[in-house]
Structure 1
C-alpha cells in the first residue's frame, strides 16, 4: 500500500476528473481505497495511480468499460492478449470505415459526370430461376447473400457450374422511394431441369434498357446510378419498371464477390427491337 490521498490530489495525479472517477467507481473498475462514513469523501491510494493511468489510456483508445474490467481482473495472459487484439481489430475496421467515408465525401465535391459508355440495349426474353421477397433496404445485404446462395446451390444440384452463371437482380422502385419493396434474385435457368422447392421458374419479358457498368464493388454505386439516371432523363424516356442488375466477375475462390455490376435502367424504346 502507498499513501492515502484526497480525490482532488488523485485527479491531479491521474488526469481523471471527479465525474470520471465517480463513473469508474460505479462501474467497479476503480474503487476508492476508503470512503469516509460520515462525510462520504472518497480517498485513493497512491498505489492505484498506475491502475488509473491504464484505464485512462484504454478509454482514450475507445475500449469499453466491460473490456477494461475484464482486462484488469484476469490473470490469464492469453485472455488479456485476446482482449487487446480484438480491440485493435475493431479500431482498424473503424479506421478503414473512416477512410472510406472521407473518400466518399471528397468524391461528392466533384460533379457527377455522365460516362461515355452508357449503352442502349435490347434484352431478349430470358428463362430464369428466381428467388423473390419484399425486403427493407436495411436487410437487403443479408437477403442478397441468402438468395444468391440458394440459387447457386440449385444450379449446382442441376449439374451446372455456379460460378459460370451470371446472377442478376430486379429491384422495384419502392425500394428506392419507400425503403421497402420487392426484390428478386435470378440466374439463367439450366436446361432440362426443374427448380427445387423455394426457387421459381419464370421468364423475364424482353425489354429496352440504358446500361452502365459500374466497376468494382458496391461502394460508389450511387454515383453510377446518378450518372445513368441523368443520362436517361436527359437523352431518353425513363420507364418506371424495376431496375435490373447483373453481377459480373465472380471466381471459384470468391463466388460471392463481384468485380463489376451492370446496371440496367428501363426505358421506352422508339425503335423496333433487333430480330
Structure 2
C-alpha cells in the first residue's frame, strides 16, 4: 500500500481528469481507496497510479471499458494476452478500413476514365446457373463461393470446354432494397448430366448497353454510374436485371478475372447492324 492522495493530486499524477476518475469509479474499474463520509471527497492510494495509467493508455488505444475491466480483473496471463491480441486484431482491421476509405476518397478526386459504351444484343444462351436471394452485404462471400461451385461443376463435366466466360444477373432490388435475387451462370457444356444444385436453362435474347470495367470490382460503382448515366441520357433504360461477364479468368480459377463487362438492359427500337 502507498499513501492516500487527494483526487486533485491523483489527477495530476495520472493525467486523468476529475470527470474521468469519477466516471471510472462509477464503472467500477478505478474506485477510490477512501471516500470521506462527511464531505464526499475521494482519496486514492498512490499504489493505484500504475492501474490508472493502464486504463488511460488502453482507452487512448480504443479499448472498450468491458475489455479493460476484464483485463484488470484477471490474473491469468493467457487471458490477458487474448484480450490484448483480440484488440490488436480489431485495430488492424480498422486501420485497413481507414486505408481503404482514404484510397476511395483519392479515387473520387481523380478524373473518371471509362471505356466507350457499346450497344449489344446478347443472343439466347443455354447456361448452368445458381440463384439465391441474398442481402447485399452477403454478395462478396456468396459470389466467391458460387463461382467456385460452378467452376468445379464445369471442370468435372465430361464435355468441359477449354475456357469459359462466367456471368451474373442481379435484380435491382438487391441494391435498392438491400435484398434481392442474384444469379451466377456459365455457358452450359454439351452434356445431359446437370450436377445437383445447378439449374440448366436458357437466358433469353436481350439488348444491353455495355461498358468494360478493368481490374477487380474495386471502383466498379463509378463504372456503373457512368454506364447508367449513358443508358438514361442516350437510350431508354429497361428495368430488368443488370448482367455482368467476368473476363480473363480461367476454367479452374473463375474468381481470378481481370475485367468485368457491365451490361445495362435497354430498349432497342431496331436490330443492331453488323
Q: Please give the secondary structure, in 1, of the residue aligned with 2:236.
A: coil
* Paired residues for 1:223-238 under 5 Å: 223-238=222-237
Tell me if the contact between 1:246 and 1:261 (Cα under 8 Å) persists in the aligned partners: yes
Q: Please give the secondary structure, in 2, of the residue aligned with 1:267.
A: strand
Q: Give the C-alpha shift of residue 7 in structure 1.
A: 2.2
Q: 1:207 to 1:215 in 2, by over 3 A?
A: same
Q: Give the C-alpha shift of residue 158 in structure 1.
A: 3.3
Worse-matched range after superposition: 134-143 or 44-53: 134-143
Q: 1:252 to 1:246 in 2, by over 3 A?
A: closer
Q: Please give the secondary structure, in 2, of the residue aligned with 1:264.
A: strand
Q: 1:26 to 1:84 in 2, by over 3 A?
A: same
Q: Which residue of 2 aligns with 1:169?
A: 168
Tell me if the contact between 1:128 and 1:186 (Cα under 8 Å) persists in the aligned partners: yes
Tell me if the contact between 1:210 and 1:228 (Cα under 8 Å) persists in the aligned partners: yes
Tell me if the contact between 2:4 and 2:45 (Cα under 8 Å) persists in the aligned partners: yes
* Paired residues for 1:38-57 under 5 Å: 40-57=40-57
Q: Which residue of 2 aligns with 1:202?
A: 201
Q: Give the C-alpha shift of residue 263 in structure 1.
A: 0.8
Q: Deviations over 1:207-244 (max 9, x none)?
A: 22222222233321110101112222333332322100
Q: Deviations over 1:147-182 (max 9, x none)?
A: 334434433553687995433211122333333332
TM-score normalised per structure 2: 0.82
* Paired residues for 1:77-96 under 5 Å: 77=77, 79-96=79-96
Gaps of 5+ in 1: none
Give the Cα separation in 2 of the matches to 1:162 and 1:76.
59
Q: 1:172 to 1:163 in 2, by over 3 A?
A: farther
Tell me if the contact between 1:122 and 1:207 (Cα under 8 Å) persists in the aligned partners: yes
TM-score normalised per structure 1: 0.82
Q: Deviations over 1:52-107 (max 9, x none)?
A: 11211111111122332343344555554443343233222212212322332343
Q: Please give the secondary structure, in 1, of the residue aligned with 2:237.
A: coil
Gaps of 5+ in 2: none
Give the Cα separation in 2 of the matches to 1:250 and 1:54.
51
Tell me if the contact between 1:118 and 1:228 (Cα under 8 Å) persists in the aligned partners: yes
Q: Deviations over 1:188-215 (max 9, x none)?
A: 2232143333321111112222222222
Tell me if the contact between 1:134 and 1:180 (Cα under 8 Å) persists in the aligned partners: yes
Q: Which residue of 2 aligns with 1:184?
A: 183
Q: 1:83 to 1:207 in 2, by over 3 A?
A: same
Q: Which residue of 2 aligns with 1:16?
A: 16
Tell me if the contact between 2:152 and 2:252 (Cα under 8 Å) persists in the aligned partners: no
Give the Cα separation in 2 of the matches to 1:92 and 1:161.
43
Tell me if the contact between 2:123 and 2:205 (Cα under 8 Å) persists in the aligned partners: yes
Give the Cα separation in 1 of the matches to 2:55 and 2:7.
16
Q: Which residue of 1 aligns with 2:221?
A: 222
Number of residue equivalences? 274
